[in-house]
Structures are given as C-alpha cells and as structure tokens.
C-alpha cells in the first residue's frame, strides 16, 4: 500500500471511530487538568470523565454502522456487533466513575479507566492479530495499574500477580499468532487466505497456535484454567476498580473470543470439535467457580470465584457456534454488566462505612441501610439467576440456545453442560444468599449507626435495580434489537 493510499484509508476511517478519538483526546485533557487543578480536583475530573463517556456514547449512536465497514486497511471493522459491545464498554466506564463519586481519586485513576475503555473498544473492532495484541495490551496495562490503586501491600501483591500472569498470556498470544502466520501467511483472521490455508494444512502446529491464542483471551475472560489471578486481585483492589475489571476487560475478551473461535472453526470443517472444547471450558469454569465460592468467607473473594462461574455462563451461548447462541450471549453480557456493577456499587457503599472482611460483618445492616441492602440483594439474586431479575432471563436465553444446539448435534458434553449449568444454580444459591441472610435475618449489633449515602449514590443503586427488574419484565425490547444485529466474520 502506498503512502497516499494509507492516508486516504486513515482519513476515511477516522469518522467511524469518533468515540475512541474522544477518549484519546480526553486522556490528554485529564492529564493536563490533573497537573493544573488545585481545588476540587477529584470532583472536576469525575464530572469531566462522565461527560466524556456520555459524549462518546452519543457519537457512537450517531455514527452507528448500518453495514460492516473495513477500517485502517483492514486492521479493524466497524459493524453493529462491535458497536453493541463498544456501547457496553462506554456504559461500564461511566458507571465506574459514578461509583467512585463519593471518594477522592487521583488523576491517574480517571486516566486509566478511559484508556482501558478505549482499548476495549478497539479490541471489539479488531480483525487482525496485530490489532488484537495492541488493543489487548492497552486494556491489560491499565488494568494491572488500577488493581494496585489501594496502595497497600495486599493490593501491590495482587497487581503484581495480575501483571505476571498477564505477561505470560501476552507471550502465548504472540507466539500463537506467529505460528499461525507461519502456517497461513496472514495475520488477518477474517481473511479467506487464512481459512484456505488452515483447511489445507490441518497440522498439529495449527492446533497449538489456536490453543495458545485462545489461552490469552481466556485469561481476560477469567475462565478456567486461566483464572488463578482473580481471587487475590478482587480481594485487594479497590471495589470500584473490581467492578470495572470484572466487566469491561472480561466482555472485551468475550468479543474477540467469539471472533477467533468462529475463525478457527472453519465453518465446521476444522479438525477439532470446537463445540466440545468450548463446552468443556464452560463446564469446568462453572464447576470450579461455584464450588470454590462455597468455601469463601470474604465477600469479594467469593465474588471473584463467582466471576469465574459467570465466565462459564457467558461461554454457554458461544458453545452453539451459531447466531442464536451469540445473540443470547449478547443479552447475557448486558445483564452481567448491570448486575455485577450493582453488586459492587452496593458493596462499595457498605465498605465506606464499615470494614467487611467476612459475611458476619453484614449482620443486621439491612435495617440501617435499606437502599444499599436492597441493591445488594437484587444484584445477588440476579447473579444466581432467579426471577424477577434479568439474570433469570439471561440464563433462560443462553440455555435455550444450548438446548437447541444439543438437539441438532446430539453431543453428550453439550447435554452435560446443560444439566450441570442448571444444577449449579442451586449450588450458587448457597453462597450468593449468605449476604442477604446476614443483612436481614441477623440482629443488628448494638450501637450500629445508620449509613448515610448521598442522593447520587442512592439514585445510582435504584436505577440499576430498576434496569435489572425491567429487563426481566420486558426483555423483548432489548432482545428484539439484538436479534437485528448480524454478525459474519
């Protein structure tokens, strides 16, 4: 490609990525504001960051792609599938800033949240392994740093573990992509050249490359067996940061995982049965996450193992390798964002008032802080997958898609995943409902004062609760929109 062609491609692509351009510019402005502001720095930066995310959301809606458009010489692609997840990432970033409104935060905190969201948006549009690597590193490096923002020994240790394991995952991605390039001669995983080369070769090196690449993505998904970093990071990082990294990087990993699995599946002609592989990963993630959560006494550590199980449920829809399963996964992604943010928002408000190293510390707090307690209970019920919450509807959709896949394929492991997933809802009841049990059924300790939360804090909790219940009562509006989204690799 000539220089003139490259400039023309860049100029034509830029209007399609205005939200990401705004995030890049806002990161520079955030840094400058942090340098020159003296008074009310944290409040100004928080309001500015929320405004930036709202502007980015408005630009995304205004430039919503009606059909797939190749960007930057084929490195990225703007389509309604990637735009849907970009909208989720921007919403997740805005909600994270809202959680931290009641807490003084440094300039770097807002800067890295914007950077991670920008990286996640680029990752959703990536169609080239180099683009995946660069975008994934932008997401990862910001996440590593944010994990250490409690600035204590435990937080530093968790951040270091996250960084070391993430570095191994990056090495796997680079090595796998280089092997695949040696086999196919291209880094574009959507190209016909890659599909033809993989169909012709079908060597052991191809399988090794695919597994190395997917291992790096599963690390971001916090799926088995690349989940070992999560408990320490969730326990030691600030709660708003945990809410953020449990949603945005995970869903960013999910987007690229869907694309890569469809590429490696080769329209069902791959030498390996990817439906069985993904079913096994989902099954083990659900089992390991839920069974490990049973033994936890720390709420955040319990939610870390729960997040591993939730990664398994997100993979349930992907198992089908068809559009119906992907649509069900997209609905689950929306519900997952809302219920995870709700749980960690409520937990953050409790932590501001009282240290909560164990479930027993929640005893009777539902009587002195009803709104946060209500939010926490609704969020945990939603994560369990019970009505009347969006968690029930989301699991209904993904397991309906899975059942359809089993009736078509007849594979035993798909049926096993279906049965195990449903039974694990009963297992999840035990550890998810521990906190509600202590909140409302245990006596309030003598001298316990009421928890005072600002109007904005209560409003955020109530909005999230209403959204989760509304998606249960009226899922058709969201699912109808999702069903109009087409996705072709």
* Whether the predicted pLDDT of 451 surpasses 70: no
Query: Residue 81: inside a domain, yes or no?
Result: no
Higher per-residue confidence, 328 vs 194: 328
Tell me how crowded residue 353 is: count the other CB atoms within 10 A of its CB.
17
Higher per-residue confidence, 194 vs 454: 194
Query: Residue 80: inside a domain, yes or no?
Result: no
pLDDT for res 354: 64
Structure confidence at residue 351 as a pLDDT band (50, 70, 90): confident
Higher per-residue confidence, 150 vs 172: 172
User: What percent of the chain is predicted at pLDDT more than 90?
Assistant: 43
Among 110-119, 151-160, 235-244, 261-270, name the one with the lowest average pLDDT: 261-270
User: What percent of the chain is predicted at pLDDT more than 70?
Assistant: 95
Q: What is the pLDDT of residues 170-203, one digit of tens each?
A: 999 999 999 888 888 888 888 888 888 877 776 6
Mean pLDDT of 205-215: 87
* Whether the predicted pLDDT of 277 surpasses 80: yes
* Whether the predicted pLDDT of 455 surpasses 90: no
Mean pLDDT of 322-331: 92
Mean pLDDT of 59-69: 89
pLDDT for res 284: 94
Residue-range definition of the domain harbouring residue 432? 273-489
* Whether the predicted pLDDT of 359 surpasses 80: no
pLDDT for res 449: 62
Structure confidence at residue 401 as a pLDDT band (50, 70, 90): very high
Q: What is the mean pLDDT of the chain?
A: 87
* Whether the predicted pLDDT of 276 surpasses 70: yes
pLDDT for res 202: 66
Query: Residue 12: inside a domain, yes or no?
Result: no
Query: Residue 312: inside a domain, yes or no?
Result: yes
Mean pLDDT of 240-252: 92
Higher per-residue confidence, 202 vs 120: 120
Query: Residue 459: inside a domain, yes or no?
Result: yes
Mean pLDDT of 99-116: 82
pLDDT for res 5: 66
pLDDT for res 3: 65
Q: What is the pLDDT of residues 407-448, one digit of tens each?
A: 887 788 889 999 998 888 888 888 888 888 888 887 777 666
* Whether the predicted pLDDT of 257 surpasses 90: yes
pLDDT for res 306: 92
Higher per-residue confidence, 332 vs 263: 332
Query: Residue 253: inside a domain, yes or no?
Result: no
pLDDT for res 447: 60
pLDDT for res 1: 59
Query: Residue 423: inside a domain, yes or no?
Result: yes
Query: Residue 404: inside a domain, yes or no?
Result: yes
pLDDT for res 236: 86
pLDDT for res 44: 87
Number of domains in the chain: 1
* Whether the predicted pLDDT of 224 surpasses 70: yes
């Amino acid at each position: 490609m000539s220089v003139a062609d490259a400039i023309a491609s860049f100029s034509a692509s830029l209007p399609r990525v205005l939200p990401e351009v705004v995030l890049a510019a806002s990161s520079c402005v955030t840094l400058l504001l942090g340098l020159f502001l003296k008074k009310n720095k944290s409040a100004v930066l928080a309001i500015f960051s929320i405004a930036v995310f709202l502007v980015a959301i408005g630009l995304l809606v205004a430039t919503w792609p009606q059909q797939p458009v190749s960007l930057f010489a084929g490195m990225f692609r703007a389509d309604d599938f990637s735009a849907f997840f970009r909208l989720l990432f921007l919403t997740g970033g805005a909600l994270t800033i809202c959680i931290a409104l009641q807490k003084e935060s440094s300039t770097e905190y807002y800067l890295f949240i914007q950077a991670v969201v920008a990286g996640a948006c680029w990752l959703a549009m990536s169609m080239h392994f180099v683009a995946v690597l660069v975008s994934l590193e932008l997401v990862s490096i910001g996440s590593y740093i944010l994990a250490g923002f409690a600035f204590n020994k435990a937080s530093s240790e968790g951040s270091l573990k996250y960084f070391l394991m993430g570095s191994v995952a990056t090495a796997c991605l680079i090595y796998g992509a280089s092997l695949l390039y040696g086999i196919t001669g291209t880094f574009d995983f959507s190209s016909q050249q890659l599909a033809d080369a993989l169909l012709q070769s079908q060597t052991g090196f191809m399988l090794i490359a695919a597994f190395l690449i997917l291992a790096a993505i599963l690390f971001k998904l916090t799926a088995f067996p690349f989940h070992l970093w999560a408990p320490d990071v969730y326990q030691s990082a600030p709660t708003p940061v945990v809410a953020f990294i449990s949603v945005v990087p995970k869903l960013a990993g999910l987007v690229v995982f869907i694309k890569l699995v469809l590429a490696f599946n080769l329209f069902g002609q791959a030498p390996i049965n990817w439906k069985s592989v993904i079913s096994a990963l989902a099954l083990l993630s659900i089992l390991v996450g839920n069974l490990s959560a049973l033994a936890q006494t720390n709420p955040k550590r319990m939610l870390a193992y729960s997040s591993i199980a939730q990664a398994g449920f997100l993979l349930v829809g992907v198992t089908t390798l068809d559009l119906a399963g992907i649509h069900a996964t997209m609905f689950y992604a929306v519900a997952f964002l809302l219920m995870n943010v709700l749980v960690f928002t409520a937990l953050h408000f409790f932590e501001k008032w009282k240290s909560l190293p164990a479930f027993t510390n929640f005893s009777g707090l539902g009587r002195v802080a009803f709104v946060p307690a209500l939010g926490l209970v609704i969020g945990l019920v939603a994560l369990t997958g019970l009505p009347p919450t969006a968690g029930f509807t989301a699991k209904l959709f993904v397991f309906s898609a899975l059942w359809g896949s089993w009736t078509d394929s007849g594979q035993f492991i798909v049926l096993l995943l279906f049965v195990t997933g449903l039974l694990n809802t009963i297992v999840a009841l035990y550890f998810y409902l521990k906190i509600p049990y202590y909140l409302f059924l245990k006596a309030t300790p003598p001298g316990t004062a009421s928890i005072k939360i600002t109007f904005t804090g209560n409003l955020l909790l109530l909005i999230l609760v209403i959204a989760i219940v509304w998606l249960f009562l009226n899922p058709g509006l969201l699912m109808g929109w999702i069903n109009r989204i087409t996705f072709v690799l």
